[in-house]
């Protein structure tokens, strides 16, 4: 599978699940997101690397869903973390 940008991934999530996600709404989608964060927390406490990879992917997908149904471009939202103004090298 070729590498994908964050914008491409967010667009893919929109294409695959957008209509259903908007129908579900923000509140219910946020609950799904929190459930996935909980599963990630459990995975991080263990030694199963494949499970960690899977759960990080699930959390990112649900974050994209929340962003999509709320009109947020995640690529735009990370702009503040780019550049030398942060003081990190």
pLDDT tens-digit series, residues 1-32: 579 999 999 999 999 999 999 999 999 999 99
Contacts of 13 (CB under 8 A, 6+ apart): 61, 64, 65, 68
Residue 24 lies in a domain: yes
In the chain, the number of structural domains is: 1
Residue 83 lies in a domain: no
Residue 76 lies in a domain: no
Q: Measured between alpha carbons, how far is 86 from 70 in angstroms, rounded to an integer?
A: 27
In which domain, by residue range, is 24 found? 6-70
pTM for this prediction:
0.88
CATH number of domain containing 52: 1.10.287.1080
Which two three-digit tokens encode residue 11? Answer: 């667009």
Residue 81 lies in a domain: no
pLDDT digits over 16-72, tens only? 999 999 999 999 999 999 999 999 999 999 999 999 999 999 999 999 999 999 999
């Amino acid at each position: 599978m070729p590498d994908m940008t964050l914008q491409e991934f967010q667009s893919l999530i929109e294409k695959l699940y957008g209509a259903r996600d908007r129908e579900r709404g923000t509140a219910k989608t946020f609950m799904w997101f929190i459930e996935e964060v909980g599963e990630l927390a459990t995975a991080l406490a263990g030694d199963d690397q494949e499970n960690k990879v899977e759960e990080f992917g699930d959390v990112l997908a649900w974050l994209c869903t929340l962003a999509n149904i709320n009109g947020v471009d995640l690529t735009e939202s990370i702009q503040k973390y780019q550049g030398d103004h942060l003081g990190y090298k």
